[in-house]
Amino acid sequence: MNVLDLFRAGQRHPRPRCLDERFNAWRTLPRADGKQNIRDSRIVVLDVETSGLDLKKDTLIAIGAVAIEQGRIMLDDAFEIVLRQQQSSSKSNILVHGIAGAKQRSGIDPAEALMQFLEYIGAAPLVAFHVAFDQTMLEKSLKTWLQADLQQRLWIDLAYLAPALLREQALNYRTLDDWTHLFNIRNHHRHHAVSDALASAELFLCLNKKCEQQGWLTLNRLATAERHYRQLIGR
């Protein structure tokens, strides 16, 4: 099942009219230029927590993100939000991400939460570890609550960029934990969205130093390296 099938299968809610002005302001932002030098760009690194791993049935519970500007993680430019759930996720799921049932049920209205997320990211390109899952859950939720999408946003997937740069480690380093351990990055609260986003941001900066050594200075160049590695392992 592809992403479009997921959208068709999901229930949609009319976007609240009170959000129209904010939504239209976001939608008209100029798209970020992937040709721009990475150090001159605002980049958002994100992670999501969900009720499970089923892209069709499970729901988005929380979003965590941090921004990178001028090659630095901006701790004062971070984002964390819990979307209100009609029903708490399973106990086994709560043990993974630590978001208690009461906190899930008292979260922010999903349409408002997602609008805040869109306002936070603005026109920035996005970075994540294993983009496909995060992107699909976000797009599914945006379609459901705001009838929106991320407008073909540029994404960089660290799960493919890392081995594209470090081929010799590719066989033994596959998970976020593997790569953060390689670079001695500490994640104090694993499976907590904003903590995982921060660890991913640190990993991105470590990888970008190696990118700069090879003359890969733009997001488009990183996306090309990632794409070539995907094609290589897909043969």
Count of domains in the chain? 1
Q: Kindly give the confidence (pLDDT) of every residue in the chain, 235 residues in length, as a single tens digit, with 9 standing for 90 and above.
A: 344 444 444 578 899 999 999 999 999 998 888 899 999 999 999 999 999 999 999 999 999 999 999 999 999 999 999 999 999 999 999 988 999 999 999 999 999 999 999 999 999 999 999 999 999 999 999 999 999 998 789 999 999 999 999 999 888 999 999 999 999 999 988 889 999 999 999 999 999 999 999 999 999 999 999 999 999 887 6
pTM of the model: 0.92
Unique residue bearing structure tokens 């759930």: 85
**CATH code for the domain in which residue 160 is found:** 3.30.420.10
Rounded distance between C-alpha atoms, residue 198 and residue 185, angstroms: 10
Domain that holds residue 65: 3-234
